[in-house]
């Protein structure tokens, strides 16, 4: 595709604006950035409004903007599972995470693994939680870079550079370098400030699409009629729950997993108090409404027939259904709007990628490096180590894009939800259940990780849905839910047995 000077100019200008904001953020609500809680949690001083934007930028990513409509475009109504799962998330946020904030704030914990380490007295269990968080987040960061890569290709900016024998998109490399620089400099303050700009652009783009595109296509009735097969889950065959159980467990498993990701915990712990978290849980459904409107873009792309348009053939060949939204925007809007919309998607990738890398760096520094390598490190050394680790994590995401086909990064992201769900007993239940034993939790975690990974591997890493036999009825199920059931059965069962056999608490390892 040929580059459009107007669209490129607007895109680059908006990127330059957020770059400046990223560096300016170091002096915003000034704190001592040689302290990890200041660099990695913004000093725990973000109020309701900033936390709302930060959590929204944290959980609603560029890949959400690309992938949710792409799933509807390519797989039909199953893609709407993203709606009920976000509805389920906010009561969970309201009920559980103010308590986690209070415990962590009172004791100076920076990560969920810090809480697990102190709560159960087990450095091994904390290590398991930390490693799971880091590994599950890496492909998530890679997919934010995929979001940037898609819009860069749609803008016609496919300029390649050869590095060590590998071909790298030069604009993607520049975006990565910018992200790395201002995250290193400003910590969590940078994505918090940029998230405000990101959301203004995202909401502006969504409003423009839901008004302009239906007017061009003859209204929503015409869109739903043209995409009818993608709006209804197929009726289950006899002896099977079919797509119904798959849809329901995808929603449930995704809801349980979302708030356990390190970047979600970091967003929560950066709030100034538990009431801020509760207020945001009440206000966050506005993002769910926006997500529903974003999902409709997949149906709009189907109705517009963008896949059959020759000018977008190369984009679909390179990115598959992920190119549906960029193609729809290119087809429906003038150049200036294209530049703004693509900037919204690109900036929507930078915000969560920054938070993810910071959260992973916090885990590495607190629960691996300080715990096992340099237990006597100073506060300044701890912060410096986290800054370096954040660069390494972002580089890891970039390596995913350079070395592996995108399908592999996407497949690993499916596993991410399966893996991170296995920390639920230690983190969420650990807040309430005093009877749980660390050895039982560790055994449950290992069993859940192994079970979930094997289930996804049996599909050739093509799907996270597995088919279970429930009393003679085939029940497609999200592997995360099935693996978590195994995890809980072992963690709770073994804890009960250990408490009966040996009531005394286990010695810390």
C-alpha to C-alpha distance for 315 and 307, rounded to whole angstroms: 9
The tokens for 246 are 């798959």
Question: Residue 349's pLDDT is what?
Answer: 84
The tokens for 406 are 């995108």
Q: Is residue 245 part of a domain?
A: no
C-alpha to C-alpha distance for 366 and 361, rounded to whole angstroms: 8
| 380 and 446 fall within a common domain | no
C-alpha to C-alpha distance for 168 and 161, rounded to whole angstroms: 5
| 391 and 317 fall within a common domain | yes
Q: What pTM, to 2 d.p., does this model score?
A: 0.92
Q: 304: domain CATH number?
A: 1.20.1730.10
DSSP sequence for 286-304 = HHHHHHHHHHHHHHHHHHH
Q: Is residue 246 part of a domain?
A: no
Give the residue from 351, 299, 295 showing the smallest Cα distance to 140: 351
| 146 and 195 fall within a common domain | yes
Residue 45 gets which letter from DSSP?
-
**Enclosing H/E stretch for 476:** strand 473-478
User: What's the structural domain count of the chain?
Assistant: 2
| 266 and 387 fall within a common domain | yes
| 193 and 294 fall within a common domain | yes
**Residues 187 and 46 sit within 8 Å (Cβ to Cβ):** no
Residues contacting residue 166 through CB under 8 Å, at least 6 positions apart:
402, 403
Question: Residue 496's pLDDT is what?
Answer: 94
Phi, psi of 503 (to 5 degrees): -60, -25
Q: Is residue 378 part of a domain?
A: yes
| 336 and 456 fall within a common domain | no
Q: Is residue 400 part of a domain?
A: yes
User: Looking up tokens 């650990």, which residue turns up?
Assistant: 430
The tokens for 275 are 């009431």
Q: Is residue 240 part of a domain?
A: no
| 204 and 325 fall within a common domain | yes
Our CA dihedral for 382, 388, 394, 397, rounded to 10 degrees, sits at -90
Question: Residue 162's pLDDT is what?
Answer: 52
| 125 and 172 fall within a common domain | yes
**Enclosing H/E stretch for 269:** helix 262-269
Residues contacting residue 373 through CB under 8 Å, at least 6 positions apart:
none
The tokens for 407 are 């399908």
| 459 and 393 fall within a common domain | no
Question: Residue 232's pLDDT is what?
Answer: 82
Domain limits at 110?
A: 5-234+252-406
**Residues 147 and 349 sit within 8 Å (Cβ to Cβ):** yes
Reduced to 3 DSSP states, what percent helix, strand and coil does the chain have, rounded to the nearest 5?
80, 5, 15
Which residues of the chain register pLDDT less than 70? Answer: 1, 158-169, 404-412, 504-508
Q: Is residue 414 part of a domain?
A: no
Question: Residue 286's pLDDT is what?
Answer: 87
| 209 and 311 fall within a common domain | yes
Q: Is residue 243 part of a domain?
A: no
C-alpha to C-alpha distance for 509 and 496, rounded to whole angstroms: 20
431-437 long-range Cβ contacts below 8 angstroms, 24+ apart: 431/96, 431/99, 431/100, 431/103, 435/495, 435/496, 435/499, 436/120, 436/491, 436/492, 436/495, 437/120, 437/494, 437/495, 437/498, 437/499, 437/506
Question: Residue 508's pLDDT is what?
Answer: 61
What Rg value do the Cα atoms of the chain yield, rounded?
Answer: 23
317-322 long-range Cβ contacts below 8 angstroms, 24+ apart: 318/153, 319/149, 319/150, 319/153, 319/406, 320/70, 320/74, 321/70, 321/71, 321/73, 321/74, 322/66, 322/67, 322/70, 322/146, 322/150
| 348 and 461 fall within a common domain | no
Q: Is residue 425 part of a domain?
A: no
| 402 and 458 fall within a common domain | no
Within 365-427, residue ranges assigned H as helices are 379-403, 406-421, 424-427
C-alpha to C-alpha distance for 54 and 47, rounded to whole angstroms: 10
Residues 10-55 have pLDDT tens digits of 999 998 898 888 888 877 777 788 888 899 998 898 999 999 888 8
């Amino acid at each position: 595709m040929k580059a459009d000077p107007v669209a490129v100019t607007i895109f680059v200008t908006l990127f330059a604006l957020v770059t400046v904001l990223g560096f300016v953020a170091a002096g915003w609500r000034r704190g001592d950035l040689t302290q990890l809680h200041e660099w990695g949690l913004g000093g725990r001083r973000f109020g309701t409004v900033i936390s709302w934007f930060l959590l929204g930028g944290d959980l609603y990513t560029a890949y959400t903007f690309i992938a949710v409509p792409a799933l509807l475009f390519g797989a039909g109504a199953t893609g709407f599972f993203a709606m009920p799962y976000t509805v389920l998330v906010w009561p969970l946020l309201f009920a559980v995470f103010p308590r986690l904030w209070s415990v962590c704030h009172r004791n100076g914990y920076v990560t969920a693994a810090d809480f697990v380490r102190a709560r159960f007295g087990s450095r091994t269990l904390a290590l398991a939680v930390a490693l799971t968080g880091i590994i599950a987040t890496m492909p998530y960061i890679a997919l934010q870079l995929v979001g940037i890569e898609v819009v860069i290709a749609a803008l016609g900016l496919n300029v390649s550079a050869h590095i060590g024998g590998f071909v790298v998109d030069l604009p993607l490399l520049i975006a990565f370098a910018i992200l790395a620089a201002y995250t290193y400099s400003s910590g969590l303050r940078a994505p918090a400030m940029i998230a405000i700009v990101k959301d203004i652009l995202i909401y502006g783009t969504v409003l423009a699409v839901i008004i302009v595109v239906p007017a061009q296509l003859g209204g929503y009735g015409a869109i739903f009629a043209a995409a009818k097969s993608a709006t209804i889950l197929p009726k289950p065959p006899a002896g099977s729950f079919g797509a119904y159980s798959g849809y329901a467990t995808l929603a449930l498993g995704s809801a349980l997993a979302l708030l356990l990701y390190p970047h979600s915990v970091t967003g929560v712990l950066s709030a100034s108090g538990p009431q801020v978290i509760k207020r945001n849980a009440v206000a966050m459904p506005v993002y769910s409404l926006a997500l529903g409107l974003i999902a409709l873009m997949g149906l709009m792309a189907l109705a517009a027939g963008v896949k059959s348009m020759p000018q977008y053939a190369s984009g679909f060949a390179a990115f598959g259904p992920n190119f549906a939204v960029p193609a729809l925007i290119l087809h429906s809007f003038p150049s200036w709007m294209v530049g703004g919309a693509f900037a919204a998607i690109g900036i929507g990738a930078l915000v969560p990628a920054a938070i993810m890398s910071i959260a992973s760096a916090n885990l590495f520094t607190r629960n691996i490096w300080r715990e096992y390598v340099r237990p006597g490190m100073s506060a300044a050394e701890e912060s410096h180590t986290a800054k370096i680790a954040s660069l390494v994590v972002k580089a890891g995401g970039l390596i995913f894009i350079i070395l592996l086909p995108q399908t592999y990064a996407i497949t690993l992201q499916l596993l991410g939800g399966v893996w991170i769900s296995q920390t639920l007993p230690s983190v969420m239940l650990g807040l309430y259940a005093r009877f749980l034993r660390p050895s039982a939790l560790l055994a449950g975690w290992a069993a859940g990780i192994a079970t979930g990974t094997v289930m996804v591997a049996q599909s050739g890493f093509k799907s996270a849905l597995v088919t279970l036999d429930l009393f003679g009825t085939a029940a497609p199920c999200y592997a995360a839910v099935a693996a978590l059931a195994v995890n809980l059965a072992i963690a709770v069962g073994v804890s009960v047995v250990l408490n009966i056999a040996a009531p005394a608490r286990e010695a810390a390892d």
